[in-house]
Homo-oligomer: A and B are copies of this chain.
Amino acid sequence: MTMSRRQLIAVMPAALTGANTAFPDVRALTVDVFGTVVDWRGSIIAEGSHFNRSHGVRIDWANFADRWRAGYGPSMNLVRKGELPWQTIDQLHRGVLDKLLPEFGITSLNEADKDHLNRVWHRLNPWPDSVAGLSRLRKKFIIAPLSNGNLALLTNMAKYAHIPWDCILSAELAKHYKPDPEAYLTAASLLGLRPDQVMMVAAHKYDLKASKALGFRTAFVPRPGEYGPSVKPETDPDESCEMVAHDFRHLADLLGAPR
């Protein structure tokens, strides 16, 4: 069995690959956030366990997190199709939360409590490699999130989790959610770069496929644990993945970022 060039790059140490000679024009990395940089599910479960104790309830937060995450997609797609006016992810999350709370038997929260709970998405914890790997990558590249999360959410999260972005990019700045082309092209334009000078980094192939079609370079960082132990996301690279790294430290090696 022979390995593809992609597979070879993924398994060879940086010293052997001639780090980043494959993508000498890349100046900036735009990075997906939910699932790629932060463990949204584990973070919500962890904060939920505190919520259960402080509120004297027994919510299954793994189930709650999964329902919450799945729930915002349909309304986001209505926004994408122009059937709903622009709304931020904070607003979309809140719409789902207001439906889920009574389903889970929670009817006693006041507005401040609900707003605080909705902002759990601003307080997500990075995967163990994220901050170390991104800190190295920042020495060589401009690094920015490119998430469907709104700018305030991403800014607060970066402050909370010490994620060292150079600037905050968001689908909000285009008022078009990924994978709409406008989300990616607006990001490149704001960075003052051509699409081929920007590498999209994500744990989700739909994100890489959409950006690659516009000329972005792409790096796949699969996160097998994103949806919990019982769901196996697609972790096999396909033709949308020009580079494959098993985490951000590995990506820093592959791209020749200094230690």
Contact A159 B142 (CB under 8 A): yes
- Tell me the bound Cα distance from A150 to B159 in angstroms: 23
Instruction: Flag A129-171 by CB within 8 Å of B: 1 or 0 each.
Output: 0000000000000101000001111111011000001111000
A contact patch SS: helix
Are B90 and A150 neighbours in the complex by a CB distance under 8 Å? no
Complex CA gap A193/B152 in Å reads: 9
Q: Indicate whether A172 reaches chain B with its CB closer than 8 angstroms.
A: yes
* Contact size range, A: 20 to 34
Q: Is A192 an interface residue (CB 8 A)?
A: yes
Q: Which residues of B contact A90 (CB under 8 A)?
A: 192
Known: A90-B192, A192-B90. A166 touches B173 (CB 8 A): no
Q: Is A92 an interface residue (CB 8 A)?
A: no
Which residue of B is nearest A191, CB measured? B152
Whether, in the assembled complex, A70 has its beta carbon less than 8 Å from a beta carbon of chain B, the answer is no
Chain A residues at the B interface, C-beta cutoff of 8 Å: 88, 90, 142, 144, 150-156, 158-159, 165-168, 172-173, 190-193
